[in-house]
Structure 1
Amino acid sequence: MLPFLRRAAFVFLLSLFVGVAPTFAAAPTYDVIIRGARVLDGTGAPWFYADVAVRDGTIAVVGQVPADASAATQIDGHDLILAPGFIDPHSHAGPALATAQLAGAVPLLAQGVTTVFINPDGGGPTDLAHQREVILAERPAVNVAPLIGHNSVRTDILGLADRDPTAAELAAMGDLVESAMREGAFGLSAGPFYTPGAFSKTPEHIALATIAGRWGGVYTSHLRDEGDYSIGLVAAVDEVITVAREAQLPGIVTHIKALGPRVWGLSTEVIQHIEAARAAGVEVFADQYPFEASSTSLDAALIPAWVREGGRAAKLARLADPTQDEIIRDGIAENLDRRGGAQRIQIRSYAPHPAWEGQRLDAIARELGVDAIEATLHIVKAGGASIVSFNMAEADIVAFMRQPWTMTCSDGALVAMGDGVPHPRSYGTFPEKLRRYALDGDAVTLAQAVHSMTGLPAAVMRLRDRGLVRPGLVADLVLFDPATIASRSEYQDPHHLSVGVEWVLVNGQIAWREGASTDQRAGAWLRLNE
């Protein structure tokens, strides 16, 4: 008999002699076991084969799970990519998640999104406790991480006035930011391109961002100028760098772009400025959506900022003033030129005349028998419209995308099927980047693309327990088929879910199973430093 067999027999007989039966380790039990997937762990490293087991909402094993292990759900991961759930650092899904109709977040789950950061561009409510209560009452299917919006804070204290705050008013604004950070906000969002943020100056942003920084938050800004509207693209990026440096917190150039033919090619200079800032120790990042078109309101795109001061009533009064007519029309003409002309502007949503949704502004002008300036005024006076604006060059998109400090974001809303003609980013941002720029293109590798959606935003936004496939972290996970993942949403026909995402786990619960929602609704309201 071999020596090791003799020892085993001796132990067995001894156990019988002393009256104790031999014990053997029980097979482990998990909630979910995923076997044999190609794991992209969110770090940017190449994929590797592994089993992943989930227990009690967290990742328990990454490696080899015993063959006799049991689980309520076992998933065959062969031919699939397993990654951390995708994190959207710039999402307009907040209002929709507060509704019974859309809290299920089906278009987000179909993309593999498990966490959204809401209240971007300086917007959203200032009462985050109430926002949390309303959203959680609808049981969101994805995690929700709030920001506090500078424009909202400014409006609460100054209204839409075009002036600097007094010392007392700035202190009151600071109190609102402090309260929001105490409620768990992940930082200060700004939108100095929009009213009333356009009336603010850099020191105001530094003062409020400093408060966010003391709590460990970030500063993320829709630039004061993404083209050449006012101070210019490069100077606007420098403003974010200045705020990040002076307030001592991470600064994010949100949905980074070079907007309009006049500034195409400036990506090179912008990248140089960000690289120089980072080399000097300033923590600067960017996020980006993988589309050549942006989306905003017709007012913000074409109506000069001074015309919008004071709100809608004041704006309409200026538009009706014959002494202001020529200068307003000149401003609209200039802004049309900045965006490449009326043929590059598509109406996204326009309640007074839904038939115009999906049409370009030049076609609407021809239908009305007027020029594009008059068509713009007609739409604005009737209530305004949201637009999709085709204003970016592919070379700039790729240049920004390739930077190791660029995250993926959607800047998208969560919309109901058939509601208007929304930007395709609302349905397909993450699959579009994976398919077009990584799997079918060579802008980035698949590992880099996944990193920009997972580990990078988790690190930048201070999500310390998500964003990686690693034991002990929260089990927000996505399994997608690299052969089929794609966006099916198009500019003229956007209301189609993405394909190729097979499984999604949110906080360890199966939210998306074999390409369909389970309506599990396991999303949580996330708070900074918790």
Structure 2
Amino acid sequence: MKQFTLLVFLISWFTQPIGVKTQSTPHNYDILIKNGKVLDGTGNPWYYADIGINDDRIVWVGKSDNVTADEVIDATGLYVSPGFIDVHSHAGSGLASESLSHGRPLLAQGITTVMVNPDGGGSTDIAGQRSSLEEHGLGVNVAQFVPHGSVRRRVMGEEDRAPTPDELEEMKSIVGEGMQNGAFGLSSGLFYTPGAYAETEEVIELAKVASRYNGVYSSHIRDESDYNVGLIYSVDEVIQVAEEAELPGIVSHIKALGTGVWGYSAAVVSRVERARDRGVEVFADQYPYPASSTNLTAVLIPAWAREGGRTEMLQRLDDPELIDEIKVEMEANLVRRGGAESIQIADYSADRSLEGLRLNVIADQMDTNAIDAALNMIKEQNPKIVSFNMHEDDVARFMKQPWMMTSSDGGLVEMGDGVVHPRNYGSFPRKISMYVKEKRAIDLEYAVRSMTSLSASVFNLHDRGVIRSGQVADIAIFDLEQIQDKATFDDPHQLSEGVEYVLIGGKFAMKAGEYQQELVGKVLFNKFD
């Protein structure tokens, strides 16, 4: 009889889904999520389990009829996953404002944590920025980068030269201070000024500082197209920084931008795989759209003409000895972007009537050519744009890679302001609704992993990103049939649908589709020791 009992026990134990425990005695929790299909974030297939939460932690994952709770969520028919982590977000300034600190466009996507100060931009005062973010409360968690471009500007202005030894030491000191104050790594924007003026060796030295504090290096690479050094060289540069500074390197919002490099995704994947095969930690993140967004100046005006900042740039644009040369380069840059019909004005407060229009239409309205129309706008104010420049085959190939995280590259704006990129509102649901459900490019478990555990592991958020006992209870519960991005390129100001519950640190940020008044996010601190 004892042998039979032992056999029954062993069969019962080994046939349970991974991560599920049975509960034989009654227990009470603060919150109990029952009957949901659990996607634990690791890429495992979903399984049925109940989740017990006390305070800010998941304390039990299992099945039992004896469990009670102060509050029960019946997740029948819904999927329960870790909260989504946006590893490349421009939401920092919005979250620091009183009117947008709620972060509802993020919560509607199931996002519980965002990484801010990407592309080398943002505040160098990490402690001060934390105070600003906390002033009005936070709808989501925030983790910070130290931004290389801002560090360089603080020490060297907009000068196109290498730093002196003293200047480099000052920059290293700023990065070190930022890391000590809780930043998770160094970001760079080597496509933008003044980051474009930095040699690789400068970036490596600063990345070494981040590495000492268990940080990462995330880069808007020097060239995502064929502007100057080219896409492949620029990916190799991230690999070099990661290898020499001995830290994870991330190719931000990876893409093959422009017809001249369509199809290069295969070569980029090969480069990353070869680096990883020899032991270099290289990753990437991606937003699931065929269009990018930036500003018109960065897209068209050559970097040398932008040296010294906007005032000096405008002087060059009015210099009859320089403007013809500038226009030649602008025309080449416009071709790279797919022509004037591929550029849509997203935000231009100097003339709101131009928002949502393509550059070719604006040129016709101004009775001029596209280059002169662009110059007219740039001289008045630097427009934000949406640029249609990617091929869907490249988007899908990148998305399928096991080292690919999910990001939005989006910000927070007042509802109705501009005709902004829909990624602000829809990146994470779009990945599920279009690339899992419609295109079947990836499966659901794979998509959720790219939004949760992979990002958490890369950024050392080891108590987040997985549904497991002991983890912080950052959780998204969604309806797979209903989850959808509503935002479009022509009508972007629409919240996503299908996310029913969002918990952050065991507290409700969204409950049964309703946003809660209490803002339960916080600024996270990198635990580097």
TM-score, length-scaled by structure 1: 0.94
Aligned to 1:57: 56
Q: What amino acid is the match of 2:48?
A: Y
Aligned to 1:270: 268
Whether the 8 Å CA contact 1:141–1:519 is kept in 2: the answer is: no
In structure 2, the partner of 1:390 is 388
Tell me if 1:417 matches 2:420: no
Q: Equivalent residue for 1:28?
A: 27
Matched, 1:187 2:185: yes
1:162-184 Cα offsets, whole Å, 9 max, x none, are 00000000000000000000001
Would you say 1:45 and 2:44 are equivalent positions?
yes
Partner of 2:187: helix, strand, or coil? strand
Return closer, same or farther for 1:271/1:26 CA change in 2, 3 Å cut-off.
closer
Q: What CA deviation, in whole Å up to 9, does each residue of 1:338-372 have, x standing for no partner?
A: 01100000000001100111110000000000000
Distance (Å, rounded) in 2 between the aligned partners of 1:253 and 1:220: 6
List aligned pairs for 1:324-339, cutoff 5 A.
324-339=322-337
Deviation of 1:440 after TM superposition, in Å, equals 2.0
Aligned match of 2:246: 248
Question: Does residue 215 in structure 1 map to residue 207 in structure 2?
Answer: no
The letter of the residue matching 2:265 is S
Equivalence for 2:310:
312
- Residue 26 (structure 1) shift: 8.0
Instruction: Report the residue type matching 1:110 in the other structure.
Output: A
Q: Which runs of structure 2 are paired with 1:296-311 in the superposition (5 Å)?
A: 296-311=294-309
Q: Deviations over 1:447-470 (max 9, x none)?
A: 000000000000011111100000
The total of aligned residue pairs comes to 505
Q: Which residue of 2 aligns with 1:13?
A: none
- For the aligned residue pairs, the C-alpha RMSD in angstroms reads 1.0
| Residues in 1 aligned to 2:297 and 2:70: alpha-carbon distance in whole angstroms | 53
Give CA-to-partner distance per residue, 1:119-163, whole Å, 9 cap, x none: 000011100111001111111010000000000000000000000
CA contact (8 A) 2:302 2:330 kept: yes
The correspondence of residues 149-188 of structure 1 with structure 2, limited to 5 A, is 149-188=147-186
SS at match of 2:523: coil
Partner SS, residue 88 of structure 2: coil
Alignment of 1:107-126 (within 5 A): 107-126=105-124
Q: What is the deviation of 1:384? A: 1.3
Distance 2:280 2:269 in 1: 14
CA contact (8 A) 1:157 1:172 kept: yes
In 1, Cα distance between the equivalents of 2:506 and 2:386?
A: 37
Deviations 1:369-397 (A, max 9, x none): 00000001000000110000000000000
User: Larger C-alpha radius of gyration, 1 or 2?
Assistant: 1
- Using the alignment, how far apart are the partners of 2:333 and 2:517 within structure 1? 44
Structure 2 segments unaligned to the other structure (5+ residues): 1-23
Conserved 8 A contact 2:25-2:66:
no
Give the whole-Å Cα distance in 1 for the aligned partners of 2:272 and 2:111. Answer: 28
**CA–CA distance in structure 1, aligned partners of residues 268 and 380 of structure 2:** 38
- Write the distance in 2 (CA, Å) between the matches of 1:78 and 1:120: 38
Partner of 1:494: 492
Give deviations 1:242-301, integer Å, cap 9, x for gaps: 000000000000000000001000001010000000000000000000000000000001
Cα drift, residue 515 of structure 1: 1.4
User: Which 5+ residue runs of structure 1 have no aligned equivalent?
Assistant: 1-24
1:233 Cα deviation after fit:
0.1
Which whole-Å deviations, capped at 9, do the CAs of 1:50-102 have from their partners, x for residues lacking one?
001111110011111x4343323211111100000000000000000111100
SS of residue matched to 1:117? strand
1:524 aligns to what SS in structure 2? coil
Query: Structure 2 CA distance, aligned partners of 1:63 and 1:301?
Result: 52
**Aligned mates of 2:225, 2:282 — CA distance in 1:** 20
Distance in 2 (alpha carbons) for counterparts of 1:284 and 1:259? 20
Amino acid of the structure 2 residue aligned with 1:511 = A
How much identity, in percent, do the aligned residues show?
51
Q: 2:142, 2:515 → 1: CA distance?
A: 18
Question: Any conservation in 2 of the 1:57–1:507 contact (CA below 8 Å)?
Answer: yes
Alpha-carbon distance between aligned partners in 1 of 2:437 and 2:62, rounded to the nearest angstrom: 26
Task: Tell me the TM-score normalised to structure 2 length.
Answer: 0.95
